Amino acid sequence: MRALRLGTRGSALALAQSQRVADAVQAATGREVELVTVLTAGDQSSVPVHRLGVGVFVSALRDALAAQEIDFAVHSYKDLPTAGHPGLHIAAVPQREDPRDALVARDGRTLAELPPGATVGTGALRRIAQLHALGLQLAVTPIRGNVDSRLGRVLGPEADLDAVVLARAGLARLGRTDVITETLDPMLMLPAPAQGALAVECRIDDPDLVELLAVLDHAPTRAAVIAERAMLATLEAGCSAPVAGFAELAEGDDGEEIYLRGAVISPDGARDLRLSRTGTPADAAEIGKALAADLLDLGADSILGPHNDAGARTQQFGSTE
Ligand SMILES: NCc1[nH]cc(CCC(=O)O)c1CC(=O)O
How high is the ipTM of this complex? 0.95
Residue 71 belongs to a domain: yes
Q: What is the pLDDT of residue 241?
A: 84
Same domain, 207 and 236: no
Same domain, 82 and 9: yes
Say if CB 94 and CB 221 are below 8 A apart: yes
Q: Rounded to the nearest whole angstrom, what is the distance from the C-alpha of residue 171 to the centroid of ligand 1?
A: 9
171 φ/ψ angles, rounded to the nearest 5 degrees: -65, -40
Residue 282 belongs to a domain: yes
Question: Which helix (H) or strand (E) element contains residue 304?
Answer: helix 300-304
Mutate to test the pocket of ligand 1, among 49, 56, 79 (most ligand atoms within 8 A of CB): 79
Q: Which atom of ligand 1 is nearest to the CA of 150?
A: 16
Q: What is the pLDDT of residue 49?
A: 46
Residue 291 belongs to a domain: yes
Same domain, 154 and 36: no
Same domain, 49 and 106: no
Find the CATH number of the domain harbouring 179: 3.40.190.10
Residue 189 belongs to a domain: no
Same domain, 255 and 283: yes
Same domain, 308 and 172: no
Residue 188 belongs to a domain: no
Q: What is the pLDDT of residue 253?
A: 85
Q: Rounded to the nearest whole angstrom, what is the distance from the C-alpha of residue 154 to the centroid of ligand 1?
A: 18
- Pocket flag, ligand 1, residue 76 (CB < 6 Å): yes
Same domain, 203 and 262: no
Distance between CA atoms of residues 57 and 272, nearest Å = 31
Find the CATH number of the domain harbouring 303: 3.30.160.40
Same domain, 79 and 212: yes
Distance between CA atoms of residues 131 and 269, nearest Å = 7
Q: Rounded to the nearest whole angstrom, what is the distance from the C-alpha of residue 166 to the centroid of ligand 1?
A: 7
- Pocket flag, ligand 1, residue 167 (CB < 6 Å): yes
Distance between CA atoms of residues 153 and 49, nearest Å = 19
Distance between CA atoms of residues 295 and 297, nearest Å = 5
Which residue CA neighbors atom 8 of ligand 1 most closely? 170
How many distinct structural domains can be found in the chain? 3
Please list the active-site residues.
79
- Give the torsion through C-alpha atoms of 206, 207, 212, 218, to 10 deg: 100
> Which of these three, 160, 183, 206, is where a domain ends?
183
Same domain, 80 and 146: no
Residues near 314 by beta carbon (within 8 Å), at least 6 away in sequence: 50, 52, 53, 54, 55, 238, 240
Residue 321 belongs to a domain: no
Residue 191 belongs to a domain: no
- Pocket flag, ligand 1, residue 79 (CB < 6 Å): yes
Q: Which atom of ligand 1 is nearest to the CA of 240?
A: 1
Q: pTM surpassing 0.95?
A: no
Q: Rounded to the nearest whole angstrom, what is the distance from the C-alpha of residue 1 to the centroid of ligand 1?
A: 34
Same domain, 242 and 282: yes
Q: What is the pLDDT of residue 122?
A: 96
pLDDT tens digits, the chain, 321 residues: what are they?
899 999 999 999 999 999 999 999 999 999 999 999 998 666 655 554 444 555 777 889 999 999 999 999 999 999 999 988 999 999 999 999 999 999 999 999 999 999 999 999 998 999 999 999 999 999 999 998 899 999 999 998 989 999 999 999 999 999 999 999 999 999 999 999 999 999 999 999 999 999 999 999 999 999 999 999 999 999 987 767 899 999 999 998 888 999 999 999 999 999 999 999 999 999 999 999 999 999 999 999 999 986 554 434 443 333 444
Residue 190 belongs to a domain: no
- Pocket flag, ligand 1, residue 126 (CB < 6 Å): no
Q: What is the pLDDT of residue 232?
A: 96
Which residue CA neighbors atom 1 of ligand 1 most closely? 319
Same domain, 72 and 205: yes
Mutate to test the pocket of ligand 1, among 8, 11, 13, 93 (most ligand atoms within 8 A of CB): 13
Which residue CA neighbors atom 15 of ligand 1 most closely? 167
- What is the residue range of 165's domain? 101-183
- Pocket flag, ligand 1, residue 133 (CB < 6 Å): no
Q: Which of 231, 260, 239 is nearest to 308 (CA)?
A: 239
Q: Is 12 helix (H, G, I), strand (E, B) or coil?
A: helix
Same domain, 23 and 87: yes
